[in-house]
Chains A and B, each alone.
Chain A
Amino acid sequence: MDKRSILAVALAVVSGILIGPVFAQEVKQEAKSISGKAKISSVSQDQLNKADSNANNFLLTNGNYAQTRFHPARQIGRNNVKNLHVAWIFQTEVKESLETSPIVINGIMYVTTSFSHVYALDAKTGAEIWHYKHKMGPVTTYCCGPNNRGVQVLGDLVYLATLDAKLVALNAKTGDVVWQSDIADPELGYSETMAPTVIKDKVLIGTNGGEYGIRGFLKAYDAKTGKLLWTFNTVPESSVGVWATKDATGRDMHRDIQAEKDQLAKAGDPYQKLGGGVWQNPAIDLATNRLYFVVGNPSPDLDGSNRPGDNLYTDSLVSIDLETGKYVCHLQYIAHDVWDLDAVSPPVLVDVKGKDGKVIPGVIHAGKTGHIYVHDRKDCSLIRFSQAMVPQENMWVLPTKEGARMLPGANGGVEWSPIATDPGQGLAYAINLHQPMTYHVENSPYPNGKLWLGGAFKVIPGEAQAGNITAVDYNTGKIKWQVKTPQPMIGGILATAGGLVFTGEGNGKFAAYDSSSGKELWNFRAGAGVNAPPSTYMVDGKQYVVVGAGGNTQVDFRRGNNIIAFSLN
């Protein structure tokens, strides 16, 4: 029998086999377990609005709607932090990359893990109250690990966004699913790792997918029903912009504008598959009802030949109206990015000195470029940018087939890691990566939701990597202090009224530093990478600091499954 005959038979067999009753669709059941009883209280919008002055709780992913990650608790201070010890350790079921931001509400802690698990814990003892294990759909398409960075709570509902691009509302008391909505199609490269932001009647959520040719968005859902209220597309139908030749700091980006214009004339605006994910929470100005968030890289990451123009609003700070989702203003850091040095760390609202020295409402963002950018909140305009927190070399050399060396590497600078601020000192605290890389370009057409890098960025073997913790005076742009770390840093940082900052490293070190000087005052070895943002809270008059130690996929730090809470004697 020849090959064609065999194939014909095989085909006939399979065709016959598969015609007939469609297989029963699996009924998706979310698994959860309840193993403890605790008094779980609801959260009011008024409490969330005043989160910045609530020393007992850690109510929002980044502390408060301004996302300062500055907590008013001061029981643990510079003089006694040396006495900090483990209060409890909770081991999750999932030993994989851990990026969760614990939130704490009246003695109850909510944490998440990779693969979209949620735990409610007794914040005093670490005892498990319930565990929600999302039944993942078969198709997930995600970059940089199966991470989840946290949940938000309003009223009696806990909001979670999942790796298979669903928005889920859980009963805060039981972990039962109250409603679930599809955010986008994971088969096209959409996924969720960020914590939702909930405010008033809305749940706000962005999307991953800038490595897969998505069209990014920030969406608002009805908090009670899960119904979509509005969508802001992070890439407008006219994405061309002003043909900027320099980045926000004034450096030439070596664009071939004529070639781009020729491509635009030939193929039109590339907005439909231009990427522009939103990886982290928006900051919310409660006085003006405006959101401020940053938009990630264009697709494909390294090949700009098929996407002429500035690729608006990728690599930008964007402000929109909370009620309508309508555009207010933006500032693009890098037009037509071909290095994936995009904008991912969540913006922070603080008062800043304007160019004339007067104090005005500002918004700051720490970039993968290694700069902290300081903006006027009114119109998004750039007031200043900080000294570079990491080495910069050869910017902006264009990627080549053989690979062009440039610093920072494609992870930054500051990755998704949230910064902290101390408004009283006018300081912003950022953790940075230093990873020398080569940037390689290749050309390929849109691959239907598959990985679409347009090349590769490669860590240069043999070149030393490092990290640092940097305090920047955002009113001058000058670095006040910097602590070098042996490995690149990814995770997050917390500042407290006790004059401290807390942050962790990939080697398992978790430490407290004097927030004015950077002097190390205490440390602990967790045994797995501490690559998650810390939180702090109080129960029965005692202050705790909590952090996840589970390592990281993106930078491949040692995995673990621990949520560790610390307190004084």
Chain B
Amino acid sequence: MSGKLSACIFGIVGFFIVLDVCATPLNAQSIEEKVQVCAGCHGQNGKPVDKTIPVIWGQQQGYLYIQLRDFKRGDRKNDIMQPIVSSIERADMLAIAEYFSKKPWPDLGQPRAPKEVANRALRANASVGCTGCHLDQFQGDGTVPRLAGMSRDYMTKTISDFRSRARGNNPGMSDLMLATAPDDLAALTEYLAGL
């Protein structure tokens, strides 16, 4: 295939994931053109098209890079992401990660957790030590992701995948999630989504 893909492609993936791959020149030079495909799922304005898809605008560069690397290695499984990253080299991964890390974090409009939920979440954090890695205010750094304001549904799914080890590229997180009570994890998810 050569030249330009002139049409927008809309499709239904699985039950609900809408993939919107818009017109993109194959010989794209600018980073904006190169990352356009990502917007299909992760959103043109940084708000993912589905709540189980993570926010990548404003996410930590190191974390985004490691996820791309792990999709390519097969350490993290995903039917959509793995084929997309299969031909991307490290320098491109770093550039894509940097591009999105510099975008503003979108406000998903998720409500603040009620006080009793927040207190339970903070007790759970004090017990297992989430902020030891995710840092103060759950902003993340380096290869550790920001959790504050992340989609609640995505976090719920991710925690479930860590607990079942369906998400296998961070067994340390699996261990920590398994050591934390489901009710505490639910409170943490609600609390983090509302930050």
**Which residues in A have some Cβ–Cβ distance to B below 8 Å?**
1, 3, 5-7, 9-23, 25-26, 96, 136, 138-146, 163, 187, 211, 401, 403, 440, 442, 444-445, 447-448, 450-456, 458-461, 553-554, 556, 559
Contact = CB atoms under 8 A, between A and B. Distances in A.
Contact of A145 (B28, B123, B132, B179): B132
B65 A139 contact: yes
6 contacts: A10-B84, A18-B34, A136-B142, A456-B178, A458-B128, A458-B179
B11 to A, nearest CB: 4
Contact of A140 (B24, B83, B84, B141): B141
Given A7-B79, A13-B21, A461 B123 contact: yes
B143 A141 contact: yes
Interface in B15-45: 19, 21, 24-29, 31, 33-34, 36-37, 40
A461 B173 CA distance: 20
A214 to B, nearest CB: 14
A133 B43 CA distance: 34
Contact of A22 (B36, B61, B92): B92
A417 B142 CA distance: 25
B164 interface: no
B29 A20 contact: yes
A445 B165 CA distance: 12
Contact of A13 (B5, B165, B171): B5
A529 to B, nearest CB: 12
Tell me which of B65, B75, B136, B165 has the highest count of chain A C-beta atoms within 10 A of its own C-beta: B136
B118 interface: no
A11 B84 contact: yes
Contact of A1 (B11, B87, B172): B11
A10 B172 contact: no
Nearest to A411: B129
A217 to B, nearest CB: 21
Contact of A17 (B37, B65, B174, B180): B37
B106 interface: no
B84 A139 contact: no
A141 B29 CA distance: 31
Contacts of B170: 447, 450-451
B87 A3 contact: no
A163 B85 CA distance: 28
Given A14-B84, A450-B170, A460-B127, A9 B175 contact: no
